[in-house]
Structure 1
Amino acid sequence: MKYFKFLLALCFISMLLSCGADDDICENGEGTPGMKVSFLTFADKKVKTLDSLYVAVDYGSGKVQLGGLAKITSRVIPLRVDDSPYTDIYFRTENNGAESKVRINYSTKSVYVSPGCGIKRTYENLNSVLTTSTMAPVKGIEDGQNFIENEDKTNLYLLF
């Protein structure tokens, strides 16, 4: 019985000592932010709602399809988190339609956030280059805010 009480007390003390703060998850958007893309009409630069938009991103090992969304005026797209100075993003308005390629050039900076989140990547000096064909849906681009610290401000405007 003595050993049982000792074992029970030892378990109780170890449970008390193992309790800690919940720092195993990223809260409040502390992780690496994505790039916010909004849509405008080509003629008069007014906000445009797209019936559908399909996005693919090349993260260094080929295109990754991010899927499509309907009835949207903006979309947040994650960029590469390796040491590459650019990310290629492909936009389509139809599932199997023609696509427009936009290369996002930037410089990166790493910032330590917390033990749970680790390192957050921020992007600076953003500039975009549109590579398109005559059938591509995106007619032009306009740069927005030229750095990414959070997902609040629009960084790129696509003209349709």
Structure 2
Amino acid sequence: MKYFKFLIAVCFIGLLFSCGGDDDICESGEGTPRMKVSFKNFETGKEKTLDSLYVAVDYGSGKVQLGKQTAITSRVIPLRVDDSPYTDVYFRVSDKGTESKIRINYTTKSTYVSPGCGVKKTYENLNSVLDPTTTTPVKSIEAGQNFIENEDKTNLYLLF
């Protein structure tokens, strides 16, 4: 009977210490937001649906392919989270087609969120520049909201 009471006491104490908050999962949108890019027609300026879009991003160690999406009107793209003041993003509309390079310049601000989420970066003073040597398939760009706090507002419009 002594061992049974000891076992119950150990289980009860273990249960008390194992109960904790859900701060080990960062699922309520508290993480670093991504940049939202939407598409417009170059001639009319109206929103456009792209049949396919391939995106690649240079995170400092070479291009990383983010894959293909079809029939889209917008796309969210993660930016660099190191201390670099810019991120290079590459867009193309076909698998082997030409790509347009856009450099996104910004300043970052770090905010501590929780032990599970860690530090959240917000991007301010966004300024995008289309590489003048690659004007296909993206013909021009148009600025949207110039800071990224969440993924609700469009930060950049690509004109095709």
Structure 1 length normalisation: TM-score?
Answer: 0.95
Written as runs of structure 1 = structure 2, the 5 A alignment for 1:65-84 is 65-84=65-84
Shift of residue 132 of structure 1? Answer: 4.6
| Structure 1 counterpart of 2:114 | 114
- Structure 2: how far apart are the matches of 1:135 and 1:81? 28
- 2:49 is aligned to 49
For structure 2, the 5+ residue unaligned runs are none
**Residues 98 and 135 in structure 1, CA contact (< 8 A), matched pair in contact too:** no
Deviation at 1:133, TM superposition (A): 3.9
Provide the aligned length of Structure 1 versus Structure 2: 160
> 1:3 maps to what in 2?
3
- Corresponding residue number in structure 1 for 2:27: 27
Which residue in the other structure is 2:142 paired with? 142
Q: Percent identity of the aligned residues?
A: 77
Corresponding residue for 1:37? 37
Alpha-carbon RMSD across the aligned residues, in angstroms, is: 1.2
Q: 1:135 to 1:146 in 2, by over 3 A?
A: closer
How many Å apart are 1:134 and its aligned residue?
A: 6.0
Shift of 1:5: 2.2
AA aligned to 2:145 is Q
Which sits farther off after the overlay, 42-51 or 13-22? 13-22
Query: Contact 1:33–1:121 (CA<8 Å) still a contact in 2?
Result: yes
Q: How far is 1:136 from its partner?
A: 1.9
Could you tell me which residue of structure 1 aligns to residue 159 of structure 2?
159
TM score, norm. by length of structure 2: 0.95
CA distances 1:124-148 after superposition (whole Å, capped 9, x unpaired): 0000010154662000001100000
Please tell me whether the aligned partners of residues 33 and 148 of structure 2 are also in contact (alpha carbons under 8 angstroms). yes
**8 Å Cα contact 1:100-1:132 kept in structure 2:** no
Which residue identity lines up with residue 155 of structure 1 in the other structure? N
- SS of the aligned residue for 2:128 comes to strand
Encode CA deviations 1:45-91: one digit per residue, 9 max, x unaligned: 10000000000000000000000100001000000000000000000
Greater mean alpha carbon deviation, residues 81-90 or residues 111-120: 111-120
Per-residue displacement from partner, 1:81-108 (whole Å, max 9, x unpaired)? 0000000000000011100000000000
Structure 1 runs, 4 residues or longer, greater than 2 Å off: 132-135
In 2: Cα distance, 1:22 partner to 1:134 partner:
47
Comparing 133-142 with 42-51, greater Cα deviation is found at 133-142
